[in-house]
């Protein structure tokens, strides 16, 4: 492998690595696995080996927007989806009554089983070493990463480094008026590394997150709550294998009441939000129960999902009752909620406040602009959630490996993947609260569906060496079968007649005035694929019904949303030219007449890589982009003339 710098090769010193990943959470695991699978000698440095892939908050993966991220990680060759399939105790498809753009998987996992399986995968991956210790300081020379020094004095050398430190940088746990240094309850924080990051020229800020109390599941009254079961049909996050059917564990739904709210209101003065014990900003979209009452005082109830933590424990997670109020108040809140009147508190909820690095300091490849070879992924970039962390982790690991090879970075566009939306949002817009993915953040969400992640991304994963040839062949075979059956639907004719006309009327649609193709009939919103089989001849029915379920799903989506999909593709093509137009890294915005002062300042500090990225910088107007576009076209034209030999003009491209 080609590598940067002098020093030992990958086969040299045991303390010298191509890629070093600091952190063993969801981002760290994906980063380390990606780099190792791409052939880099890799190490994962973690504070505690036993806590690799820990699920400190809700032991669940997926949800709307977040589930699409996990599917994309899997399509690229990542591990989160496969590991969830190994460890789930309940799985369901959300939003099945809505359009395919917002459908998504969500799985409740056995948290211990999830951790154990991930540790098995990490420990058995070739090229990957696990090291326990605390990263105390970066080793940086000439604005280039060279490794880390550990708190115990050891030094690990590397050519690229991925920071995936989660909530541990100068972290403190807060419960009521009590606080102490900890990255999570029972775990020591990383106290030393922040000073080293500041010394390297990076900017830090503070965020906070929180988790709800856990209760003894044997002490709940399930009869007073709504049963929430998983889907009976086999489902999987991974594209490569569907797990065998297993007994699914139920969850339950209850709601807070005015009595619950009265307890919270009486003790709001003890909340760290009011007392100032927590100074960092928390997640808007996963607020604590005290924050809900502050922001929505008119609401009479809020949902509370009572979810199991695993099959070998009685602990249950109270999603919707996140709080860091004093423990005695938490017990009162729980017992004022229907079905939880006799519930016994096992672990109190708490808040954790920690350092993060505002993500505008990163390139779209997740590398810090101030330090070559230094990458970051997960909550250190200001995000929340296991899925957002895993998505950044695999991208940071890939790009850390490509950096070692002297290859260009791997960047996904906003029209290619939710991962592209996530990273572009972070790097271009920054964050003022922990970032969470929603489908509404994607302009082209009908193209970025749960069901087509492998078709969009697996060829890219294969090119990187993360998706096998056999896996890619499966994707290509699926695409071939979809095209084959789509052609068949265009060939099969549906005849009019009394029987078919009556059947169509019973579905709520008009009879056929003339013979139509099966594809055209399927485009009617009232006609499901199973209904179509009743309208064709027996011979055609046998041919069409032989299609695999995953092919039928695609045929149905393509038929119903063909016009919308075509329009989104056309919109992508229209914007592609300006979206991907490169801006030179040394571009002098201050000298460009017509730009507002705000645009000059923000573009000069952020240094967007493309015109599309520049257009999404807060404070940069469409008029500013028009001025910049005209100038870039002028420069490109001049350079094209120079490339043909015009005297005095360098023969370089805008991409340089």
> What's the pLDDT at 285?
65
Residues 45 and 185 in one domain: yes
Q: Which domain holds residue 481?
A: 469-571
Measure the CA–CA gap between 90 and 248, rounded to whole angstroms. 5
Average pLDDT on 320-339 reads 96
- Number of domains forming the structure of the chain: 4
Contact 125, 36 (CB under 8 A): yes
pLDDT of 153 higher than 70:
yes
Q: Where is the domain boundary, 301, 333, 353? A: 353
Residues 20 and 124 in one domain: yes
Half-sphere exposure of 149 (CA within 13 A, CB side): 11
Residues 97 and 56 in one domain: yes
* Confidence class for position 651, pLDDT limits 50, 70, 90: very low
Measure the CA–CA gap between 595 and 452, rounded to whole angstroms. 41
Average pLDDT on 22-31 reads 98
Residues 419 and 559 in one domain: no
Residues 348 and 378 in one domain: no
CATH number of the domain at 27, please: 3.50.50.60
Can you say whether the dihedral through the CA atoms of 585, 588, 589, 590 is positive or negative?
Answer: positive
pLDDT of 649 higher than 50:
no
pLDDT of 372 higher than 70:
yes
Residue 3 lies in a domain: no
Q: Where is the domain boundary, 539, 571, 603? A: 571
Q: Where is the domain boundary, 321, 353, 385? A: 353
Find how far residue 553's CA is from the centre of its chain. Answer: 24
> What's the pLDDT at 4?
43
Residues 30 and 88 in one domain: yes
The tens digit of pLDDT for each residue in 554-599 reads 999 999 898 999 999 998 988 887 788 889 888 899 888 888 988 8
* Confidence class for position 636, pLDDT limits 50, 70, 90: low
Average pLDDT on 66-89 reads 98
C-alpha torsion 486→489→491→496, nearest 10: -160
Residue 5 lies in a domain: no
Residues 634 and 614 in one domain: yes
Contact 1, 39 (CB under 8 A): yes
CATH number of the domain at 348, please: 2.40.30.260
Residues 24 and 64 in one domain: yes
Residues 566 and 584 in one domain: no
Give CB contacts under 8 A, 24+ apart, made by 149-156: 150/45, 151/192, 154/15, 155/15, 156/15, 156/16, 156/17, 156/20, 156/43, 156/45, 156/131
End-to-end CA distance of the chain: 25
Find how far residue 621's CA is from the centre of its chain. Answer: 28
Residues 473 and 425 in one domain: no
Which helix H or strand E contains 245, and what residues bound it? none
Measure the CA–CA gap between 48 and 166, rounded to whole angstroms. 13
* Confidence class for position 13, pLDDT limits 50, 70, 90: low
pLDDT of 283 higher than 80:
no
pLDDT of 73 higher than 90:
yes
The tens digit of pLDDT for each residue in 441-463 reads 999 999 999 999 999 999 999 99
Residues 197 and 62 in one domain: yes
Which residue bears the tokens 């997670």?
Answer: 317
């Amino acid at each position: 492998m080609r590598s940067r710098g002098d020093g030992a090769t990958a086969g040299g010193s045991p303390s010298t690595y191509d890629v070093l990943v600091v952190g063993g959470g969801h981002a760290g695991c994906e980063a380390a696995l990606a780099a190792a699978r791409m052939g880099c000698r890799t190490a994962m440095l973690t504070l505690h080996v036993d806590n690799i892939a820990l699920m400190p908050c809700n032991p669940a993966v997926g949800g709307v927007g977040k589930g699409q991220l996990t599917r994309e990680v899997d399509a690229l060759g990542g591990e989160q989806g496969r590991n969830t399939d190994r460890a789930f105790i309940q799985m369901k498809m959300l939003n099945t009554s809505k359009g395919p753009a917002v459908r998504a998987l969500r799985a409740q996992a056995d948290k211990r089983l999830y951790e154990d399986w991930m540790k098995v995968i990490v420990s058995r991956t070739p090229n990957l070493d696990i090291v326990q210790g605390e990263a105390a300081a970066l080793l940086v020379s000439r604005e280039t990463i060279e490794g880390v020094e550990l708190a115990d004095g050891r030094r690990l050398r590397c050519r690229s480094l991925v920071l995936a430190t989660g909530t541990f940088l100068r972290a403190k746990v807060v419960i009521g008026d009590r606080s102490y240094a900890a990255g999570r309850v029972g775990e020591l924080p990383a106290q030393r590394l922040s000073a080293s990051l500041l010394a390297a020229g990076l900017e830090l800020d503070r965020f906070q997150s929180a988790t709800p109390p856990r209760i003894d599941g044997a002490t709940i009254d399930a009869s007073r709550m709504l049963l929430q079961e998983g889907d009976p049909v086999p489902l999987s996050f991974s594209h490569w294998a569907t797990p065998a059917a297993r007994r699914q564990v139920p969850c339950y739904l209850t709601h807070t009441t005015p009595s619950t709210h009265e307890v919270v209101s009486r003790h709001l003065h003890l909340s760290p939000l009011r007392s100032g014990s927590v100074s960092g900003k928390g997640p808007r979209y996963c607020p604590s129960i005290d924050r809900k009452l502050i922001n929505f005082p008119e609401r009479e109830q809020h949902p509370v999902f009572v979810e199991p933590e695993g099959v070998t424990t009685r602990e249950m997670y109270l999603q919707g009752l996140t709080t860091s109020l004093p423990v005695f108040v938490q017990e009162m809140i729980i017992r004022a909620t229907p079905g939880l009147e006799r519930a016994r508190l096992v672990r109190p909820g708490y808040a954790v406040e920690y350092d993060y690095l505002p993500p505008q300091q990163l390139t779209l490849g997740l590398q810090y602009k101030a330090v070559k070879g230094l990458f970051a992924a997960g909550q250190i970039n200001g995000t929340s959630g296991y899925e957002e962390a895993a998505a950044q982790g695999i991208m940071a690991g890939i790009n850390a490996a490509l950096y070692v090879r002297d290859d260009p970075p791997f960047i996904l566009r906003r029209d290619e993947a939710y991962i592209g939306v996530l990273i572009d949002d972070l790097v271009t817009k920054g964050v003022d609260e922990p970032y969470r993915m929603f489908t509404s953040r994607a302009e082209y969400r009908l193209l970025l569906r749960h069901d087509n992640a492998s078709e969009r991304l697996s060829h890219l994963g294969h090119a990187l060496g993360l998706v096998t040839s056999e896996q890619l062949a499966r994707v290509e075979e699926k695409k071939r079968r979809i095209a084959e059956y789509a052609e068949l639907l265009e060939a099969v004719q549906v005849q009019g007649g009394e029987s078919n006309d009556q059947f169509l009327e019973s579905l709520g649609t008009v009879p056929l005035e003339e013979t139509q193709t099966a594809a055209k009939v399927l485009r009617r919103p009232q006609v499901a694929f199973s209904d179509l089989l009743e309208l064709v001849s027996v011979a055609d029915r046998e041919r069409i019904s032989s299609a695999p379920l995953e092919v039928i799903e695609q045929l149905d989506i393509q038929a119903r949303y063909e016009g919308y999909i075509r329009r989104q593709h056309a919109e992508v093509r229209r914007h592609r030219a300006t979206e991907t137009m490169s801006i030179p890294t040394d571009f002098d915005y201050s000298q460009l007449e017509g730009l507002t002062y705000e645009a000059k300042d923000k573009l000069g500090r952020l240094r967007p890589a493309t015109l599309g990225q520049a257009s999404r910088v807060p404070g940069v107007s469409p008029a500013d982009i028009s001025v910049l576009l005209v100038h870039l076209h002028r420069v490109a034209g001049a350079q094209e003339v120079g490339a043909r030999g015009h005297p005095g003009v360098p023969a370089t491209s805008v991409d340089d």
